[in-house]
């Protein structure tokens, strides 16, 4: 494990990257229509599809800046300048090959696959389930060996999805099996949960953290997603298996 001072140095730069990513999300959200006319009726801003990514971008930016502030407060500006010089040196290349940078790779992989692979093609709730459970379990256990195995499992699954979508198999599967792509995503999420459980079941503290991860990962999207979908009337990026089921429950359409 990294020493606390090294972790705080990493917090400064990772916080900056998170903030920049949040600003990029905000810029993309502003490209969505904030108001539009449907059937001659002008919708107000708070039902815009841009509201959800805009909220996420703002939160990411604020949390990234807070992380930077905490790191700078701990290490001070002189140490920050020294670290910046090191980042521009050849030693940085060697550092990128170390296992200690694996956490940054994991964060990048999780966000990139969420935004560019899963969200546009898989039911929003299933995407959120997978992202939150994978994100929490990879870091909450605070175990580099577990992180490596979970990241590898996730990478294999997402590589399969990339090939699946690149070959347009989703369109073919969905024609013959209703919500076939969503079912595959659900199977992958359940497989990930089972694999994570197998990795940590021998450690009591890890088992407790795993249960907490499951609760947060499944309950949070249901609550927040339902608020946006049924109270604020904000359409989800991709509505599939879970959204259809929730619509049936909401409108008693059985």
Radius of gyration of the chain, Cα coordinates, nearest whole angstrom? 20
Q: Which residue has the higher pLDDT, 144 or 99?
A: 144
* Degrees to nearest 5, angle at CA 250 with 247 and 253: 70
Rounded CA-CA distance 234/227 in Å is: 9
- Backbone φ and ψ of 242, nearest 5°: -70, -40
Helix axes 180-200, 169-176, angle to 10 degrees: 100
Residues sharing a CB contact under 8 Å with residue 205, sequence separation 6 or more, in sequence order? none
pLDDT greater than 70 at residue 86: no
pLDDT tens track for 201-246: 988 899 999 999 999 999 998 898 888 888 888 888 888 898 888 8
- Tell if the pTM clears 0.85, that is, is over it: no
Domain ranges of the chain: 1-97, 98-254
Give the 3-state secondary structure of residue 86: helix
Q: For 1-55, what is each residue's pLDDT tens digit?
A: 446 666 666 777 788 888 999 899 888 888 877 665 554 555 565 666 777 788 8
CA atoms of 15 and 12, how far apart (whole Å): 5
């Amino acid at each position: 494990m990294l020493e606390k001072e090294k972790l705080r140095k990493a917090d400064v730069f990772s916080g900056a990257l998170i903030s920049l990513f949040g600003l990029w999300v905000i810029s993309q959200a502003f490209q969505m229509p904030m108001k539009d006319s449907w059937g001659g009726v002008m919708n107000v801003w708070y039902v815009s599809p841009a509201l959800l990514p805009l909220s996420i971008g703002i939160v990411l930016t604020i949390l990234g800046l807070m992380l930077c502030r905490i790191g700078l407060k701990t290490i001070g500006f002189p140490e920050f300048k020294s670290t910046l010089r090191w980042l521009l040196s050849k030693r940085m290349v060697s550092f990128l090959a170390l296992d200690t940078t694996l956490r940054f790779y994991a964060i990048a992989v999780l966000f990139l696959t969420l935004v560019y692979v899963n969200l546009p093609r898989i039911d929003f709730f299933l995407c959120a389930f997978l992202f939150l459970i994978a994100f929490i379990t990879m870091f909450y256990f605070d175990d580099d060996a577990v992180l490596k195995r979970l990241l590898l499992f996730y990478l294999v699954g997402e590589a399969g999805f990339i090939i699946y979508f690149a070959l347009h198999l989703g369109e073919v599967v969905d024609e013959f099996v209703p919500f076939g792509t969503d079912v595959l995503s659900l199977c992958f999420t359940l497989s990930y949960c089972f694999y994570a459980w197998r990795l940590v079941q021998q450690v009591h503290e890890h088992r407790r953290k795993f249960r907490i991860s499951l609760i947060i990962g499944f309950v949070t999207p249901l609550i927040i997603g339902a608020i946006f979908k049924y109270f604020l009337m904000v359409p989800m990026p991709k509505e599939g298996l879970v959204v259809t089921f929730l619509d049936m429950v909401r409108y008693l359409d059985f």
